[in-house]
Amino acid sequence: MADEPWRPKEDEDDEEIEEINYKSQKDAIIIAIDVNSTMLQPPPPSDSKKADTDSALFAALKCASHLMEQRVISNPKDMMGILFFGTKHSKYPDGDDRASQSYPHCYVYVDLDVPAAEDVMALKSLIEEDEDGILIPSEDDSASMANVLFCANQLFTTRAPNFTSRRLFIITDNDNPHPDDKKSKSAAVVRAKDLYDLSIIIELFPITSNGTDFNVSKFYEDIIYRDISEEANSPQILTSTSGDGISLLKSLISNVTSKQVSKRALFSGIPFEIAPGLTITVSGYNVIHKQRPQRSCYIWLDDEKPQIAKGETAKFTEDTAETIMPDETKKAYKFGGEFVFFTPDEHKMLRDFGPPVIRILGFKPRSCIKPWESVKKATFIFPSEEHYIGSTRVFASLHKKLLKDDKIAIVWAITRSNAKPGLFALVASEDKMDDATGALYLPAGMWLYPLPFADDLRSGPGLKYRTNPPDKMIDDLSMVVENLWLPNKRYNPVKYPNPQLQWHYRILQAMALDEEVPEVPDDATIPKYRAINKRVGGLIKDINNAAKASVSSDTLASRPVKRELDAPSDNGPRKRAKSPYDAGGSSVSNKQLRDAVESGSVQKMTVADLKEVLTVRGIDPKGRKAELIDKIEQWLETH
């Protein structure tokens, strides 16, 4: 939150600590890909440029390769593995034939470990050519899902036993692998329950092909154990098509990317007091967070060999340089010219406003919330059954009522211990779907929208010059806006990644994978100047010309005009002809100014006129008269 200078530094430190803890959990993912005849079938030919060209299996492989490249750079401590099931050959990482026989038709291609450059290169070579015949389906074209789940269980328990997040991604187009074998289905259900008991989450990525529907209720509904508070995370069925513009690869990458980062609550189990005697529990999620290049360590370069530096912090007295222990320090605040000291416990008590809670104070129309009242990002909250059973039903009723009446709730909230309380607007939202893939990227819920206090409201800077644009300029600018709308009049941040961050990751990726370092970064934020010029280039020129003319006319009209004498006397002294410098500085042309400098008459101009001449030409008008004349002469040399 370094971009919020109005916040006290101590609050900023607390939030940074919270964010670090929020990111520090390790994650392990196994991507299990079904290898069968239908997954290997290429899509039918099509003339559409957006048609699928890869089979469902190779689209899944490219998706896995894409995610592995990302995790090599962005998540260097997380683990990832690739498991094929339904293959003719079997392989388990231990290299023991007996272990391989224990998991028939299961081929562990990439062991569950921190991805290395060799793993990425091996997966890319498999996509280009399957020299070893790994992707050959078994003869009976089936694999026991109990063996698949047990194999994944063994990988998780032996490779990542202490990881806080462990997930199994299953990509398949077979909605019923055991249609006539109840015994195999029951065994798979038992293995899935074992995974659930170990806090291993199963995520399903179903694919439909050849016009067939994927019915989750036939088999996978009994395999996937899901919390009732997470019903919004139900699997999105992906379609392998060729003519309707939906790309299976993009759909897979979008869906898997949305779930590759485990959902970690910013706060959980917070009491939500809807009314006296009616309390439920909710969890809060930080949906949007600015991503920065992560520094995992510091390197000491002043030695013969670079070494990882370990930081230590110590405090010393200014006069004797003695080490000060933490219990010997006190914090102080200055009141009336004197320092008032507090012990750490006393200082902690000063900031204690009570336990975390979200309490509704009242309700207001939704129109009361103004866009300019946003002083901090909102927090997405969702019900939790952690302390109060039935929280989901009560939360859903409140959510439905707020949407129906177009209302918001004003709440008093303390979201974590020792945090400052704040006023928030509780805003209900509906499901948000991705227009391109049709995937659900934000479920229905409610947002804690922080409201500003009185000292957060700041007036904008005053305008020295203010002109009213003509009606034609307004009409032209409206045409410019209408012709430059983004698709669907909506900004999609996925299409515009941070160029600085992506360049940083691209360099690291090239170094890690032994690739050629690119010379020019990809920057999707650069405006498409040719398209803009083609659409509204003429209108923009007209607007600029009209703006210059409007400003010039308003400036001339605002200058004081000396009233002439109503009846000038013939006997009075004759007025001399005005020299160029007698006019205001804004009315002196460049030719007149050059003639005045060459003839020396510029010395007769007043300081006010000289400053006005400089201001009109965009030059700093500060200084003595001689300095102002020097600035004019320097400007004339280059113009």
Confidence of residue 489 (pLDDT cuts 50, 70, 90): confident
Nearest to 207 by CA among 167, 248, 179, 255: 248
Instruction: Return the SS3 of 280.
Output: strand
pLDDT(572) > 60: no
Distances (CA, A) of 346 to 9, 305, 338, 603: 19, 47, 18, 69
Confidence of residue 399 (pLDDT cuts 50, 70, 90): very high
Distances (CA, A) of 442 to 22, 285, 381, 382: 20, 11, 12, 11
Instruction: Return the SS3 of 399.
Output: helix
**Tokens read off for 625:** 């008269």
Give pLDDT tens digits for 191-212: 999 999 998 999 888 888 766 7
CB 65 within 8 Å of CB 75: no
> Please, what are the domains in the chain?
26-260 (3.40.50.410), 270-291+356-456 (2.40.290.10), 301-350 (4.10.970), 471-558 (1.10.1600.10), 580-637 (no CATH)
- Alpha helices (H) along 206-334: 248-260
Question: What percent of the chain shows pLDDT beyond 70?
Answer: 79
pLDDT value at residue 192: 94
CA–CA separation, 260 and 170 (whole Å): 13
CA–CA separation, 611 and 619 (whole Å): 9
Highest mean pLDDT among 256-270, 452-466, 566-580, 612-626: 612-626
Q: Backbone phi, then psi, for 434, in 5-degree steps?
A: -75, 125
pLDDT value at residue 30: 95
Give pLDDT tens digits for 33-75: 999 988 888 877 766 665 567 788 888 898 888 888 877 776 7
pLDDT(578) > 50: no
Give pLDDT tens digits for 407-446: 999 999 998 887 889 999 999 998 877 665 566 667 788 9
Pairing of strands 422-429, 440-442: unpaired
pLDDT value at residue 13: 40
pLDDT(406) > 60: yes
pLDDT(272) > 80: yes
pLDDT value at residue 78: 87
Distances (CA, A) of 289 to 25, 423, 547: 16, 21, 39
Longest dimension (CA), the chain: 127
Mean pLDDT in residue range 278-297: 81
Confidence of residue 576 (pLDDT cuts 50, 70, 90): very low
Instruction: Return the SS3 of 535.
Output: helix
Mean pLDDT in residue range 20-44: 78
Mean pLDDT in residue range 285-299: 76
**Tokens read off for 532:** 């803009």
The mean pLDDT of the chain is 79
pLDDT value at residue 242: 39
> Which residues belong to the active site?
23
Confidence of residue 324 (pLDDT cuts 50, 70, 90): confident
Mean pLDDT in residue range 341-354: 83
**Tokens read off for 589:** 């042309």
Please tell me what DSSP assigns to residue 555: H
Nearest to 596 by CA among 607, 580, 585: 580
CB 444 within 8 Å of CB 399: yes
CA–CA separation, 221 and 146 (whole Å): 15
pLDDT value at residue 290: 75
pLDDT value at residue 398: 95
CB 202 within 8 Å of CB 168: yes
Please tell me what DSSP assigns to residue 125: H
Mean pLDDT in residue range 238-256: 49
Q: Which residue has the tokens 């289905």?
A: 185
* Burial of 110 from C-beta contacts in 10 A (0-12 / 13-18 / 19+): buried
Lowest mean pLDDT among 221-225, 466-470, 503-507: 466-470
Nearest to 275 by CA among 355, 359, 386, 356: 359
CA–CA separation, 50 and 253 (whole Å): 16
CA–CA separation, 475 and 183 (whole Å): 73
Question: What percent of the chain shows pLDDT beyond 90?
Answer: 22
Q: Which residues contact 489 (CB under 8 A, 6 or more apart)?
A: none
Q: Which residues contact 151 (CB under 8 A, 6 or more apart)?
A: 83, 85, 92, 103, 106, 108
CB 208 within 8 Å of CB 172: no
Q: Which residues contact 620 (CB under 8 A, 6 or more apart)?
A: 614, 631
CA–CA separation, 437 and 194 (whole Å): 33
**Tokens read off for 4:** 């919020």
pLDDT(18) > 50: no
pLDDT value at residue 190: 94
Nearest to 169 by CA among 132, 207, 213: 207
CB 251 within 8 Å of CB 360: no
pLDDT value at residue 166: 92
Nearest to 71 by CA among 508, 432, 575: 508
Secondary structure element (H or E) that encloses residue 382, with its range: strand 379-384
What does pTM read for this prediction? 0.57
Mean pLDDT in residue range 579-596: 64
Give pLDDT tens digits for 125-174: 998 888 888 999 988 757 899 999 999 999 999 999 988 889 999 999 88
Give pLDDT tens digits for 506-532: 787 777 777 787 788 888 888 889 999
CA–CA separation, 260 and 115 (whole Å): 15
Q: Which residues contact 548 (CB under 8 A, 6 or more apart)?
A: none
Please tell me what DSSP assigns to residue 156: H
CB atoms within 10 A of CB 246: 18
Pairing of strands 278-285, 298-300: unpaired
Q: Backbone phi, then psi, for 266, in 5-degree steps?
A: -70, -35
Q: Which residues contact 345 (CB under 8 A, 6 or more apart)?
A: none
Mean pLDDT in residue range 328-343: 84
Confidence of residue 100 (pLDDT cuts 50, 70, 90): low
pLDDT value at residue 111: 93
Specify whether the backbone of 302 is left (phi greater than 0), alpha (psi in -120 to 50) or beta. alpha
CA–CA separation, 371 and 377 (whole Å): 12
CA 367 from chain center: how many Å?
Answer: 27
CB atoms within 10 A of CB 168: 24
pLDDT(177) > 80: yes
CA 420 from chain center: how many Å?
Answer: 25
pLDDT(294) > 80: no
Mean pLDDT in residue range 601-617: 82
